[in-house]
């Protein structure tokens, strides 16, 4: 398993954008594909703090995760976020999601990010609870009425 930044492999941006659109937007109508493509393509710029992390197994691109800046308009005080954790269906169940989260946390710590937040549709917290994320809020988000949970993790000693 190897990790790269999208900025190092910009040719993969359209694949990641399609994954994100199919997973979170196609059925909900939250955002059109073009919007997702533009946001993902922005992560090819190495000069910005937001980063999109890619996971490869051999020659296969199998997953992605993002470190984001101010992801949720409703919570501007939550500066840095983890999001877009995605693993291809044919590679799920092999701890790739956990490896992506661990890699994102490592990079966040290296970037001196002291607190990291995330939003998940899994009300139990899913894989994030084992990384120390705790529940903060339950809200509707991005025009979708299903529940989202906001989780928090302090990634350095608080």
Which residue segments constitute the domains of the chain, with CATH numbers given?
2-154 (3.40.630.30)
Angle made by CA atoms 111, 7, 115, in degrees to the nearest 5: 25
Instruction: Give mean pLDDT, residues 31-48.
Output: 83
Sorted by sequence, the CB contacts under 8 Å of residue 37 that are 6+ apart come out as: 13, 14, 17
Q: pLDDT (tens digit, 9 = 90+) per residue, 47-77?
A: 666 789 999 999 999 999 998 887 666 777 8
Q: pLDDT (tens digit, 9 = 90+) per residue, 80-113?
A: 888 889 999 999 999 999 999 999 999 888 888 8
pLDDT level of residue 34 (50, 70, 90 thresholds) = very high
Q: What is the pTM (predicted TM-score) of this model? A: 0.83
Q: What is the model's pLDDT at position 153?
A: 52
């Amino acid at each position: 398993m190897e990790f790269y930044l999208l900025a190092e492999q910009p040719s993969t941006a359209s694949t990641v954008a399609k994954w994100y659109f199919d997973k979170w937007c196609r059925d909900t109508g939250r955002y059109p594909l073009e919007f997702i493509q533009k946001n993902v393509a922005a992560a090819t710029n190495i000069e910005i703090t937001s980063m999109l992390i890619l996971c490869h197994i051999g020659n296969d691109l199998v997953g992605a995760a993002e470190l984001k800046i101010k992801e949720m308009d409703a919570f501007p005080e939550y500066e840095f976020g983890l999001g877009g954790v995605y693993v291809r269906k044919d590679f799920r169940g092999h701890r790739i999601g956990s490896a992506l989260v661990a890699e994102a946390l490592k990079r966040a710590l290296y970037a001196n990010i002291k607190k990291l937040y995330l939003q998940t549709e899994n009300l139990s917290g899913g894989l994030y609870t084992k990384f120390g994320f705790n529940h903060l809020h339950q809200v509707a988000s991005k025009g979708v009425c299903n529940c989202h949970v906001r989780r928090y993790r302090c990634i350095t000693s608080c």
